[in-house]
Chains A and B, each alone.
Chain A
Amino acid sequence: MASISIPLEKRRSALVEWLTTVDHKKIGIVYMGLAFTFFIFSGLLALAIRTQLAAPGMTVISQEFYNQAFTMHGTGMIFLFTIPFLVGGFGNYFMPIQIGARDMAFPKMNAFSLWLFVFAGFVMEFGFMLSMVANATGWGNLGLGSAASWNAYVPYSTRAFSPQAGMDIWLIGITLNGISGTLGAVNILVTVYSLRAPGMSVWRLPMFTWTLITTAVMILLATPVLTAGLMMLTTDRNFNTQFFTTADPRMWQHVFWFYSHPAVYIMVLPAMGVISEILPVFSRKPIFGLKALMVSTALIALLGFTTWAHHMFVSGVNPLIQRFFMFTTMLIAVPTGVKIFNWIFTMWGGSLNMKTPLMMSIGFISTFTIGGITGVFLGMIPVDQQLHNSYYVVSHFHYVLFGGSVFGIFGGLYYWLPKIYGRMLSDKIGKVQFWLMLFGFNLTFFPQYILGLLGMPRRIATYLPDRGWDIPNLLSSIGAFTIAFSVLLFIINFVIYIVGRKGEVAGDDPWEGNTLEWMTQSPPPEYNFKTIPVVHSERPLWDIRHANDNTNAHGKH
């Protein structure tokens, strides 16, 4: 072996290393970095939308661009930010360490998933960006953007009504992204199945890992359905097949929502996992009702597959079938409520370390609850017949996906970035960011409930002054800019305290964590652990810290 002992670190430049890495941690970082970039870009589109709607009859952006902007805001946030950030980013980086593995089960497939995601994101956004620049500079309409909204309802998305190439580009981008996600889900499931540390039984899996595998099951069952549907729509548009063009008008809607309703849980379950990690650590208590939380996660995943047609209560679905979907939709509120109470009672009687990750988690519970409650309203068919597609719905799902997922993601960032980079973020800036974001979020989205009740439909580029929608819209737009400012604070925090190395050195375990990622160095070495740890409870690090006192964690209480 001596003849080929070229030191690894000299063999490749940093750039080549990042482009060819199969290390789950580096792959996770690339996922996070890119997904966050898409978050910023899609957020800027939201600002364009909110500027246009700040007052009636505005013409800040053209109606054509508006329609592309809300399409790309939605698809960008869902397919290029929330899912890849939580599953590809946090999932890739932390799940293997949490279960005491040295990498994913299929590191090369992991790298393939990543670069397929990068390519898909590029395909989805690049045509749109070119079109945007061409419009702004007066080159004319290139037609490379999609304006069919994220649900791409047939027949509007067929060639007859959306002839531009942008529609095909968008379809191909989402298709590729779906393949990437499906491969990633296989990788996650195989990794957790086969690479757990000794002693890590199912009930000892960290909550984040547990939510990640339920998410992976959902991705595996749901995403191929959408991918197939997208391919069929693409061939309808280009090769004159008749999958959707001559089918029942609801056919596409069934295929689309069979994926896209579970997608909501795909986006929110891992974020629930993140705060289920943070809450017990910052309360210095075990999570309340671990088994109930794990079972309710699985129940949400299961029930999540039986509710899709509640998006079609006014599409003309058979009314008896609608009643079935109303029942399942309302039932899913129960396991969700179980989670909320379990989280609160994790804090109850604890010793709360009021740092940014915990505050973000409290923000999650508070705002997500409002989103969950209004979901029950929309699940009631008569109410949905009034509020379907209105701003009430827009507000509802932002309370779930921003109030839930985004608060969860920021909580996770403040919690885990010290592990990734070995330095702490500023807690002061973090708290200012939290309060601004919470205020801005409610200012943006609460008035949208009122707009929905006042009859404002979603996806309209402008409105007339005689509708009484002016003030809520103005408030909402002010809120949107407040959110943008709070995100800017996070970027400043990151640049100064982590990139600029101003932050305190984190050490292995700055938070008194419970799970195995806090056992190794910050940042973790490439092999994660020198020796694979042995696990005796769901809080292996607590066991080590309290080995000599009588609060032994895996005893009965």
Chain B
Amino acid sequence: MLVNTVTADAIAINSLYNIALFFAVIVFFIVQGLLLFSAYKYKRKKADELPAQNHGNMKLELFWTIVPALIVIMLFFLSANTLSQLSGAGTQASPIHNVHKIGDDNAKRRIEDAKRTDMIIEISGRQWFWQYKYIKDGVNHSSQNDGELVIPEGKVVRLDMNSKDVLHAWWVPSFGGMLYVNPGEMSYLWIDKPPRGSYIGQCNAYCGLQHAQMISRIKVVSQAEYDTWVKLKKAEQGGVATEGGNAERGAQLYVDGGYTYAEAIAKGDTKNTGLQAQEVADLSAYLDTLK
């Protein structure tokens, strides 16, 4: 029943949902059927009719106590089983606690052992946008102005999340799973080998005035496209030479010719951007696709 589930986590949650839905539909039809039937069948026909004064039936009552109890106990174990299949779950006996205080190195180590990870993106929740920091590639980015979280397809991405102010919650329905992002704590979610495509998520813990605008757009691209995007972002941030420079500064940074890096790429400028001719051409072509 969940819509557009693309990762293993989302698919596992969806199949659990469908199993529960199967029993729910049966219970629904039994209850509504009995209710409508008795409302229709037993309408008063004569003003003075007196039905049998039936006070109860122990066998029936035991039946509708025990059968639902068995159903929910079964759903409990199925849920526990699904939980242990989700990313970074650990085992049923010792599940991974994917939230910890900042600076708790033991907890952090357990997170690092929980699942093999290809890349880490640090996410900061703020009123009312998400800040993204790509640890290995040195890109800084945010969800403001429709900024997309770009990730390469087929990779296991770990989101290391923290809030700089109030509670937020990270939720991209297609990937399955949601987690509160708290001040003073780290919260971890995994995006497990997402396929190419555009996805959309939204802050799901009420965080104040513009809560409705705290939207996260995610774009999963091929590795080549991702590499190009990283170079472009780095160029915007101040070029290869100033790796790790911050986005605000990078956006205003002018090259010697008096224009921005993005403009330098568009003009095919290899000297000021410090890139190879082929790289400039790739970036330029990518820039055009964005227009």
Contact = CB atoms under 8 A, between A and B. Distances in A.
Interface of A: 63-64, 67, 147, 149, 153, 155-156, 161, 249, 283-286, 288-292, 314-316, 318-320, 323, 326-327, 330-331, 333-334, 337-338, 340-342, 344-345, 347-354, 362, 365-366, 369-370, 373-374, 376-377, 380-383, 385-386, 388-390, 453-455, 457-464, 466-467, 551, 553, 557
Contacts of B56: 288-292, 342
B187 A316 contact: yes
Return the 7 tightest CB-CB contacts between A and B, nearest first: A316-B99, A455-B173, A460-B212, A319-B95, A289-B56, A380-B79, A330-B72
Contact of B38 (A326, A348, A458, A466): A348
B176 A155 contact: no
Could you tell me the dominant secondary structure of chain B's interface residues?
Answer: mixed
B8 interface: no
Given A338-B65, A347-B42, A366-B35, A382 B184 contact: no
Interface string B26-52: 011001101100110011110001111
Q: Which of A320, A349, A354, A386 has the most CB of B within 10 A?
A: A386
A377 B61 CA distance: 24
B238 interface: no
B51 A376 contact: no
A64 B208 CA distance: 9
A508 B82 CA distance: 59
B194 interface: no
A557 B53 contact: yes
Interface of B: 1-3, 10, 12-13, 16-17, 20-21, 24, 27-28, 31-32, 34-35, 38-39, 42-45, 49-57, 60-61, 64-65, 68-69, 72-73, 75-76, 78-80, 82-83, 86, 90, 95-99, 127, 165-167, 169, 171, 173, 176-180, 182-185, 187, 200-212, 215
Contacts of B79: 326, 380-383
B251 to A, nearest CB: 25
A365 B82 CA distance: 32
B208 A362 contact: no
Contacts of B35: 344, 347, 362, 365-366
Contacts of A349: 38, 42, 51-52, 54
A161 to B, nearest CB: 5
A366 B34 CA distance: 10
Nearest to B49: A351
B209 A342 contact: no
11 contacts: A337-B64, A337-B68, A338-B65, A342-B56, A342-B61, A369-B31, A380-B76, A383-B20, A388-B204, A389-B171, A389-B205
A351 B50 contact: yes
A57 B212 CA distance: 11
A557 B2 contact: no
A509 B80 CA distance: 54
Contacts of A461: 211-212
Contact of A288 (B54, B178, B183, B187): B54
B17 A377 contact: yes
B211 A460 contact: yes
